[in-house]
Amino acid sequence: MSVRKSTCVVLAAVPQGVPGPEIFTVATEEVGDPGPGEALVQVSDLSLDPYLRTTLVGRHLDDPVVPIGGVIPGRAVGQVVASADPSLPAGSWVLGETGWREYALLPTTQLRPIAVPDGVPRSAALGALGMPGLTAYAAVQRHLRPVAGDTVVVGSATGGVGSVAGPLAKLAGARTVALVGDDAKAKTAVQTLGYDAAVVRTAPDWIEQLAAACPDRINGYLHMGDAQTLEVVMESLAVGARVSLCGLMDQTNGGPRTMLRAGAVMAARAVVHGMVVYDHFDLAAEQVEHVAGLLRTGQLHLHEDRYQGLASAPEAFARLMSGRNHGKVVVQVAALD
């Protein structure tokens, strides 16, 4: 049996508040050959996602807490380099829960072969064609249900979910307004992602900017921000508004509970949905087909914030969790053909 050395990233300290790169450390582990029903995968592109912050302390659904010294969980695109399962031979491109590591030995039942349209990077399977894309698609189709003439506001509008949700709402005929954290993101939202307007929520007059951008109030809101943002938007809802609660970044980082303004919901006769993407896997095939078509025709832009090398993952994650990312965060672990 051969054994190879594989670089990985492990948890060094339990995070308090917004995590910094110092809570991680780079380590080395040994990986053996695949046994029956297993495959050895070399990671190409690793996805970094906000939900990982809650897995580190055991607060993400039923996922176990990550122990000190444990490899950080994570989803990646990779290539099978050795396989003991003829249904998934060496050379196959797959998506799987590899964790933050160079090589992962996994049961083939936990790996999904991937294919992307010509001209679209395989990393799209981690973003627009993956879980963030499905989150956006389900939120728009099932929760926000935009129609022509609606105004739809999207929080974290240039991130992995927002960069898909905004264009989908616009294609449905809505006026789309991006909520972002800085001027550079505002420019990207309008010029690259096609939002009709962008509001920088850190600006002193952002509440006035939001009102000006939404003169007929807000018909649909995809929330992926902090409690203050939610509070302001809820007071700006139009009658019959639909809200999808998708991400609570400040709470994810250990902040106080986010409270919903019941009076604002009542006044708007609004419907508020809780978004958990696992409830919408029945839409996955439809979402991939639809979004792949938009990527192929250029109606949707694959917006990624890319980092090079597994050692960059801790800093990339810290930037993501402090809102400094500019797109879906992807770490290129290895440049594979």
Q: At residue 117, does pLDDT exceed 90?
A: no
Place of tokens 């196959």: 92
- The domain ranges of the chain are 4-116+303-332, 131-280
152, 219 Cβ separation under 8 angstroms? yes
Local confidence band at 1 (pLDDT 50, 70, 90 cut-offs)? low
222, 160 Cβ separation under 8 angstroms? no
For the entire predicted model, the pTM comes to 0.92
Residue 148 is given by DSSP the state: T
Q: In CATH, what number does 4-116+303-332 get?
A: 3.90.180.10
Instruction: Supply the mean pLDDT for the chain.
Output: 94
Alpha carbon of 242 to those of 173, 184, 216, 218, 279: distances in Å? Answer: 16, 28, 15, 9, 18
- Residues 63-83: b if buried by 16+ CB within 10 A, e if exposed: eeebeeeebbbbbbbbbbbbb
Report the alpha-carbon distance of residue 121 to residue 104 in Å, rounded: 21
In a 3-state reduction of DSSP, which class is residue 221? strand
- Secondary structure of the chain: what % helix, strand, coil (to 5)? 30, 30, 40
Q: In CATH, what number does 131-280 get?
A: 3.40.50.720
Residue type at position 167: P
In a 3-state reduction of DSSP, which class is residue 292? helix
Place of tokens 């122990």: 67
Query: Which comes out higher in pLDDT, residue 191 or 259?
Result: 191
Q: At residue 60, does pLDDT exceed 60?
A: no
CB-count exposure of residue 337 (10 Å: 0-12, 13-18, 19+) = exposed
